[in-house]
Amino acid sequence: MPMTRAQCLEADKIDPLARYRDAFVLPPDTIYLDGNSLGPLPKAVAGCLHDTVVEQWGQGLIGSWNDHDWIGLAERLGEKIAPLIGAGPGQVIVADSVSVNLYKLLATALSLRPGRTIILSSEDNFPTDLYIAQGLTALLGRERCELVILEGSRLMKAIGANTAVVMLTHVDFRSGRLYDMQSITQQVHDAGALMLWDLSHSTGALPLKLDAFDVDLAVGSGYKYLNGGPGAPAFLYVAARHLGNATQPLRGWMGHAEPFAFRPGYEPAPGILRFQSGTPPILSYRALEAALALWDNVDLDQLRDKSVLLSETFIELVQASEVLSDFVLNSPREAAERGSQVSFAHPLGYAIMRALIDRRVIGDFREPNLLRFGLAPMYTRYVDVWDAVAHLDGVMLNREYDTPEFREQPRVT
């Protein structure tokens, strides 16, 4: 039996993570279940940006590159993210976007496996990851780089002597399916290839163990569960064992060993620093820095335990409702195979989600028919889950989705 609303309220009272909710700006009378797309605003960000703009930039001017160590932000933020992904020092840096970092790391993987040309990925991978690999293939030509996209169940059997790198999204953005990072990475290594994980939908949602699982390369987002703001900078990870030989194609001045020597020839900076390219966007970096401060004392095992219970409660409530019998669970039923989101399929999914948002229950929609609900344990309450399903009941009972307005899709869904 799913929890009652009274039981959800009791669970919220004893939740060890409950204190973090007050650190966020959450509009009143709103249930926010879209942190897997964009995290809400941490309250500390506004003050941090005000100080950066008014004092550091306004008064310090160009001197703040040194006086406030703007120049060290990329590395400093990387060290903040490293414990969240199970990485030791010197292997993570914040830079650019997930797409740009993927380009860097795919090219790096090809250079680390000379003679191998295949990038292997799954057809349910996040589309931009596939687009980036397609672009690299188009640039280099198939004799030097070929993207092979397969259905997930065929992937591991397809790894061969010509596979340079396997690229997967750790948590599927549509279904929330969680790949077995340790097992897959081991199988890839057994075939002599490298493993590249996109952690955009798992960083800040569950514990990760990149070093322990011998992962080679990874990228991740700063604006989903890390709450760094819209378009927040991304991060990348390169295992220490590869840093001595790793090269990347976007050899900008910030990745130079002596960027202010202004020499015409490129010499890579030591270690992870070489994976920087252009001048960092300091305002975005500072917003992310303020957001990351929330994670200093978070117990990631508690985070995962709450995530599982939130999603189990959501699924049980939907499946117990006669009104919602037409909703088909699109996420794995086993909690161990699921990230921190729940997806349901319905033929009228978009209009239903619009009607829910009209009730101030904010999830999102993904083609062709999926309603997605992100469950961020730092601020999502158990009673939020109960109330969200009650609102979904109301939308269906009252046919609130059945309006022309809710069928018109804007540019962002």
- Which listed residue (223, 275, 285, 406) is catalytic? 223
Q: Which pLDDT score is estimated for 193? A: 98
Asked if 126 is an active-site residue, the reply is yes
- Whether 198 sits among the annotated catalytic residues: the reply is yes
Whether residue 408 is predicted with pLDDT greater than 90 in this model: the reply is no
Least confident of 309-323, 338-352, 362-376, 399-413: 399-413
Predicted local confidence at residue 404, as pLDDT: 87
Nearest-5° Cα angle at 133, 151 to 207 = 70
Model confidence at 153: pLDDT above 90:
no
Residue 43 appears among annotated catalytic residues: no
In the DSSP assignment, the letter for residue 40 is P
| Catalytic choice (372, 379, 381, 401) | 372
pLDDT of residue 318: 98
pLDDT of 409 strictly over 90:
no
Q: Residue 141 pLDDT > 90, yes or no?
A: yes
> Can you list the domains of the chain with their CATH numbers?
5-43+298-407 (3.90.1150.10), 69-295 (3.40.640.10)
Percent of all residues in the chain with a pLDDT value above 70, rounded to a whole number? 100
- The pLDDT of residue 375 is 98
Residue 331 Cα to chain centre, angstroms: 17
Of 302, 369, 312, which is closest to residue 337 (Cα–Cα)?
A: 312
Which has the minimum average pLDDT: 150-154, 192-196, 329-333? Answer: 150-154
281 — pLDDT class (breaks 50, 70, 90) = very high
For 146, the token pair is 């070929």
Q: In this model, does residue 405 exceed pLDDT 90?
A: no
How confident is the model at residue 413, as a pLDDT? 80
Query: Helices H, strands E: what count in the chain?
Result: 12, 15
20, 24, 103, 126: which one is catalytic? 126
196-248 residue pLDDT tens: 999 999 999 999 999 999 999 999 999 999 999 999 999 999 999 999 999 99
Q: Is residue 223 within 8 Å of 229, Cβ to Cβ?
A: yes
Q: What's the rounded Cα separation, in Å, for the pair 244 and 332?
A: 40
Active-site residue, 224 included = yes
* Consecutive H or E run containing 347: none
Mean pLDDT of 286-299: 97
Residue 269 has pLDDT above 90, yes or no: yes
pLDDT at 79 over 90: yes
Contact 131, 102 (CB under 8 A): no
Query: Residue 217 forms beta bridges with which residues?
Result: 196, 238
Report pLDDT digits (tens) over 313-342: 999 999 999 999 999 999 999 999 999 999
Q: Mean pLDDT for the chain?
A: 97
- Is 304 considered catalytic here? no
